[in-house]
Structure 1
Amino acid sequence: MDALIYTAMSGAERAMRGQQVHANNLANLDTNGFRANLELAQSAKLPGYGYDDRHMSQLQANAITDRQGALRATGRELDVAISGPGYFAVQGPTGEGYTRAGAITLDADGTMTVNGMQLLGEGGPITLPIHRKVEIGQDGTVSILGPGADAQLQVIDKLRLVRAEASELTKNEAGLLVARDGQPLNTDATVLVKAGHLEGANVSAIEEMVATMSLNRTFEIQMKLFKAADSMNEIGNKLISG
């Protein structure tokens, strides 16, 4: 009976934490470029002598799904979305990170930023001089039109675009994607961008709600198992006590 209690309580905890993962996905339904977290679990033995038949369920919530989110036209010259697989590189609090968010803003120095983090080009953070127009090409080339009437387009830098499989990435404390091995990703010339667009979150509200309801039922079943194990323990104690 003791082993059954461990199994039931471990399953109930996994269901509860799984609900938190899906609740976080739903909360970011309108966050541009958000990558949905996946809820994965694996069996783990309980350490200690005499506990060989007791197993716990360990939740792994550090995996993501890389399916494409919906692209929305904004017409804003500093809005950019990645068309197909790939990521923008930004300078995060603890080093280089990757994102699909493309709502670019300029700070007081003219440096391009995304969500307050410097957007990286092939030469480092991209800082724009005084200009009257910005153009971002399909290959990530950043060009400006100077303030003069006879000014011509001038290439400033090129966005650092990278590519990786979802299984190779995880999220850090800042919510940025990073490589699991801790190494920076290589620039990939095949990644394409679409100016004047933003990508929405790749979260499906229907899938998240269905998963949440399924976890609710799982939690209820685990609670019934726990009560059944407790009842069997009481009966066993009565038999032993005679």
Structure 2
Amino acid sequence: MDRALYIAATGARELMRRQDIQTNNLSNALTPGFRAEVAAQRTAPVIGGAGLRTRAYAVESTPGADLSAGPMMATGRDLDVAIQGDGWFAVRTPDGGEAYTRAGGFETTPEGMLVDPAGRPVLDPNGEVIMIPPDTKVQVNADGSISSVPEVDRVQAAQIANLKLVNPPANAVERGPDGLFRLRQGGVAPMAQEVRVAGGMIEGSNVSAVDTMVEMIAAARHYDVQIQLMQNSDQNQRAATQILSMS
């Protein structure tokens, strides 16, 4: 097979992968706390065989995620919490580890456990699961502390727990297959006292539906170009074969 045909075929394949990434981003445009996955291509030389490396092809990769903040939306719900600026909530994964998310639409289980929208337990600064006493109205303060709202016969609110808020460097975290972020080198991030949250708010996805649609259209057009190159390469091969057969 001619190398030009191979390069065009691999280009079409990688553009299909880009479409998959953009489709996933677009499908999460309304998912609270979602971080858009970045799609990028890198050049890879064609290796193998004799002769000079006169051709190269593109390989689709996902070097990271867009960690910019999403829009803040007021809900008025007690357990909806949004991080202001940089930072993450800590949750426990099914394997017992610790991971980080920006999705602050928390719920409580019948047992009183505080969980994220996917049902994962929310952690306190000691790495323990946060429990909310039954029939307790709570509020989340700016420093991540959770307090009971005083009733008429109460004089002072009681602090129930604290959210574990972390703020590792952007280049120190990576997205996992489950959509959660973890430290690249493993381990757990320390508590960050400077992180602030807003109760009664929730952070939306940072995916721009319009920009993503434009990128998908551009990828589709580039895919058509690769298909055209494949067709041209095939026509050139047929023409060369006819010329050789006549000689």
TM-score, L = length of structure 2 = 0.89
Report what 1:185 is aligned to.
189
1:126 and 1:9, CA in 2 relative to 1: closer, same or farther beyond 3 A? same
Report how far residue 118 of structure 1 moved: 0.3
SS across alignment from 2:39: strand
Segments of 5+ residues of structure 2 without an aligned counterpart are none
Matched, 1:211 2:215: yes
Which residue of the partner structure matches residue 99 of structure 1?
A: 101
Q: Which moved more, 1:149-158 or 1:137-146?
A: 149-158
- The DSSP-based 3-state class of the residue aligned with 1:101 is coil
Aligned partner of 1:117: which letter?
R
Quick one: distance in 1 between partners of 2:100 and 2:15?
30
Q: In structure 1, what is the Cα distance between the partners aligned to 2:230 and 2:24?
A: 28
Distance 1:147 1:49, change over 3 A: farther
Q: TM-score with structure 1 length normalisation? A: 0.91
Partner of 1:128: 132
CA separation of 1:233/1:166 partners in 2, compared to 1, >3 Å: closer, same or farther? Answer: farther
d(CA) in 2 for partners of 1:163, 1:186:
8
1:147 shift after superposition: 7.5
Cα distance in 2 for partners of 1:108, 1:47 equals 59
State the alpha-carbon separation in 2 of the partners of residues 146 and 129 from structure 1: 14
2:26 aligned partner: 26
For the residue of structure 1 that corresponds to 2:123, the secondary structure is: strand
Q: Deviations over 1:21-41 (max 9, x none)?
A: 111111111111111111012
Residues 222/167 of structure 1: CA separation in 2 closer, same or farther (3 Å cut)? farther
1:40/1:166 Cα in 2 relative to 1: closer, same or farther (>3 Å)?
A: farther
Contact 1:62/1:170, CA 8 A, preserved across alignment: no
**Structure with the higher fraction of residues in strand conformation:** 1
1:171 equivalent in structure 2: 175
The one-letter amino acid paired with 2:66 is T
What's the Cα RMSD here?
2.1
* Unpaired stretches in structure 1, ≥5 consecutive residues: none
